[in-house]
Chain A
Amino acid sequence: MNMQTAITMTAAETALVDAYTAMIGELPGEGAVLSARDALLADLKRQGLPTRRVEAWHYTDLRALLRAVPAHDPSAFAQRVEPLVAGSSVLSVLNGKADVKTAPAGINLRSYAESLVEGVAAADLIERDTDDAIGRINGSFVRDGFEIEVPEGTVLEQPLELQLVQSAGQSHSRFPVTFGANSRATVIERHLSVGDAASLVTVVSDLILDDSAEITWIILQQQGASDSHLAQVNFDLGANAKLRLFIINAGGKLVRQEIHGVTTGEGADFQLRGINLLGGDTHTDVTFTLGHDVPNTTSKEVIRNVLFDRAKGVFQGQIRVAPDAQKTDAKMACNTLLLSDDADFSAKPELEIFADDVQCGHGATVIDINPTHLYYLRARGIPENKARAMLVNAFVDEIVEELEDEGLIETLETIISAWLEKHA
């Protein structure tokens, strides 16, 4: 049995198993944490990386796509950068290591390495289900991150930026974050890469929103052109809690961003807005599942994709409505602008509705630039290529503009324009 496993292991699988052996002595945590890591790695060894035969990974054959795993590089250097929005509190994770300065006023904080050393993190290191390859890899190797508590009633006036800067090797981080009742905050989870070395970055963020918390969580992924990025956001929304999740993918060679949520309190509202800017020979997958578990909860997801070159994109969106979750209102839309004949996007919406008094809908479109819009701009003296660029920008800026914060909108629009200018 062991021999057979050894024979079929891919280079990446072998590298992960070897990395575990090499690193386990220095990864934080013992006892229960260590047992949890061992159990996850044993599953990884036994199951291997998921292939297209695993339904949740059907459009992203991780085993085939993850060609190599760069070894952990303790000598790699990375430093914190200016925050996206001036005035933000920055919590950096540099090449996988939390750079703890002082906790921003109003929140409770510790590095995730401390949680691992103390052993309390052992409970986090579990798989969501048998197909949870991201949880498995991240849980086996997690080194650091931040455990954050925003106390009840706290209003953070300035954004909190979780800044992950990667220069080489691999890093695995976690962010368990609890937002107390009635708290308000904007959190920016920002992934950056410096240099050209290939990296593997995994990250798991577990968000708990207590009753009536209202949170905006923005993920800006700008990894390098040869990086693999495996990320997961899990959330649980209490009564009347509101989570707005914005995801912008504008980098990476192989990207899988999972979002898994449940509404557990009545009146909860979840809003997902996603922008995938895809070019080159890249593969980007956004996979979303949401359980409307109680009555009277709402959700809306809008994903906008722009594809150039030979890019491949995937959106899987699954909405489940529990039998007693009456009056659920859920809407999902995935719109794709395909700007190259060689690019490819797969959209897979799934509704599993077990209640009878609900409103659920989904739609997926693939479009080209609207010729009437293009003509109108040209008729005002704007040359065709410039007019085209304006309309591609408009397609995604429409989503960004829902953010309301003018400074943030402008910053994100600048990043998007720069990306589009480079790839158009």
Chain B
Amino acid sequence: MLEIRNLHARIAEDGTEIIRGLNLTVKAGEVAAIMGPNGSGKSTLSYILSGREDYEVTEGDILYNGESILELDPSERAAKGIFLAFQYPVEIPGVATMQFLKVAMNEQRKFRGEAELTTPDFIRRVKEASARLHINPDMLKRPLNVGFSGGEKKRAEILQMALLEPKLCVLDETDSGLDIDALKIVADGVNALRSPDRAVIVITHYQRLLEYIVPDTVHVLYKGQVIKSGDKSLALDLEANGYADIIGAAA
């Protein structure tokens, strides 16, 4: 589903290279965890996948279902099924949450040549998905993310993911700032989306989230490269021994 080949990327504004020859393959149905110390390029990778224009790809390619996505803008990537759950979802005053959800769902449908949702159908979908995520309906009456707690913001991200039904889900430190109850709710939300035709990339610092979202593969990112890949036991290993040994072995 996703194949990243020898990717090099830098910050557009100052040219700082962050991703330096990254290779990664994620198959349909797979849950891949990406771990790594601070500054290794994890969030940058997620932004690059989503098409954020603050970063420039200088070499290599990103293939999604066999096609390069480098020329696609963020909305086209999203409509093709790539979803990034943000580490820090932004507050947008004046944009009503419900209106935002409806526009996003319908714009994606339009892009794919599908009919727009009727209002009752839309409301039914939102109600069902938010109930599963224990989201208070009052939260949806507020402007997008405005005044939401950290946990509410993360749940709102997973709600968007559930409603938009993406094919490739990228979760950027979705566990940060969550207490254990919220973590379980979010993990349940993600697990409910696991399916043979969908891939999930979980970016995290901690093994804790991976107890609830059990990965098929684990990749260690360091200085913009994947320096080690393994199965879920690699995450336990990192938890017990830290990154030093792996970084030492790779150097």
B93 at the interface (CB under 8 A from A): yes
A395 at the interface (CB under 8 A from B): yes
B51 at the interface (CB under 8 A from A): yes
User: Which of chain B's residues have a CB closer than 8 A to the CB of A378?
Assistant: 51, 73-75, 78
Say whether A377 contacts B94, CB under 8 Å.
Answer: no
* Stretch from B22-30, B84-92, B210-218, B224-232 at the A interface: B84-92
B164 at the interface (CB under 8 A from A): yes
Interface bits A344-376 vs B (CB < 8 Å: 1, else 0):
000000000000000000000000000011011
User: Which of chain B's residues have a CB closer than 8 A to the CB of A391?
Assistant: 92, 94-95
Say whether A386 contacts B103, CB under 8 Å.
Answer: yes
User: Which of chain A's residues have a CB closer than 8 A to the CB of B204?
Assistant: none
Interface bits B113-151 vs A (CB < 8 Å: 1, else 0):
000000000000000000000000000000100000000
A395 to B53, CA, bound (A): 23
Most buried by B among A375, A378, A393, A401: A378
User: Which of chain B's residues have a CB closer than 8 A to the CB of A384?
Assistant: 73, 75
Say whether A377 contacts B100, CB under 8 Å.
Answer: yes
B107 at the interface (CB under 8 A from A): yes
Total A residues in contact with B, Cβ cutoff 8 Å: 23
Known: A376-B92, A379-B51. A386 touches B86 (CB 8 A): no
Pick from A377, A381, A383, A394: contact of B93, CB under 8 Å: A394
Say whether B92 contacts A380, CB under 8 Å.
Answer: no
User: Which of chain B's residues have a CB closer than 8 A to the CB of A377?
Assistant: 92, 95, 100, 104
Chain A residue nearest in CB terms to B101:
A380
A381 to B75, CA, bound (A): 4
User: Which of chain B's residues have a CB closer than 8 A to the CB of A398?
Assistant: 93-94, 143
A29 to B236, CA, bound (A): 93
A302 at the interface (CB under 8 A from B): no
A39 at the interface (CB under 8 A from B): no
Say whether A381 contacts B78, CB under 8 Å.
Answer: yes
11 A-B pairs whose Cβ atoms sit less than 8 Å apart in the complex: A375-B52, A376-B86, A378-B51, A379-B52, A379-B78, A380-B164, A381-B75, A381-B164, A386-B103, A394-B94, A394-B143
A382 at the interface (CB under 8 A from B): yes
Say whether B95 contacts A375, CB under 8 Å.
Answer: no
B105 to chain A, nearest CB (A): 8
A420 to chain B, nearest CB (A): 13
A387 at the interface (CB under 8 A from B): yes
A390 at the interface (CB under 8 A from B): yes
A372 to B73, CA, bound (A): 15
A397 at the interface (CB under 8 A from B): yes
User: Which of chain A's residues have a CB closer than 8 A to the CB of B89?
Assistant: 376
User: Which of chain A's residues have a CB closer than 8 A to the CB of B90?
Assistant: 372-373, 376
Chain A residue nearest in CB terms to B160:
A380
A382 to B160, CA, bound (A): 13
B residues 152-190 near A (Cβ < 8 Å) are 160, 164
Say whether A379 contacts B92, CB under 8 Å.
Answer: no
Say whether A379 contacts B84, CB under 8 Å.
Answer: yes
Say whether B73 contacts A393, CB under 8 Å.
Answer: no
B50 at the interface (CB under 8 A from A): yes
Beyond A378-B51, A382-B75, 5 additional contacts (C-beta under 8 Å) are A376-B86, A380-B160, A381-B164, A396-B94, A398-B94
Chain A residue nearest in CB terms to B111:
A381
Chain B residue nearest in CB terms to A387:
B75
User: Which of chain B's residues have a CB closer than 8 A to the CB of A397?
Assistant: 94
User: Which of chain A's residues have a CB closer than 8 A to the CB of B95?
Assistant: 377, 390-391, 393-394
Pick from B50, B94, B111: contact of A379, CB under 8 Å: B50
B108 at the interface (CB under 8 A from A): yes
A382 to B84, CA, bound (A): 14
Say whether B107 contacts A401, CB under 8 Å.
Answer: no
B228 to chain A, nearest CB (A): 29
Closest 10 CB pairs of A and B: A394-B94, A381-B78, A398-B94, A381-B108, A378-B74, A380-B104, A378-B75, A381-B79, A394-B95, A397-B94
Chain B residue nearest in CB terms to A375:
B52
Say whether B94 contacts A393, CB under 8 Å.
Answer: yes
Chain B residue nearest in CB terms to A396:
B94
B97 to chain A, nearest CB (A): 12
B186 to chain A, nearest CB (A): 18
A316 to chain B, nearest CB (A): 26
Say whether B107 contacts A386, CB under 8 Å.
Answer: yes
A395 to B95, CA, bound (A): 9
Say whether B94 contacts A382, CB under 8 Å.
Answer: no
User: Which of chain B's residues have a CB closer than 8 A to the CB of A393?
Assistant: 94-95
B137 to chain A, nearest CB (A): 16
User: Which of chain A's residues have a CB closer than 8 A to the CB of B73?
Assistant: 378, 384
User: Which of chain A's residues have a CB closer than 8 A to the CB of B75?
Assistant: 378-384, 387
A383 to B100, CA, bound (A): 13
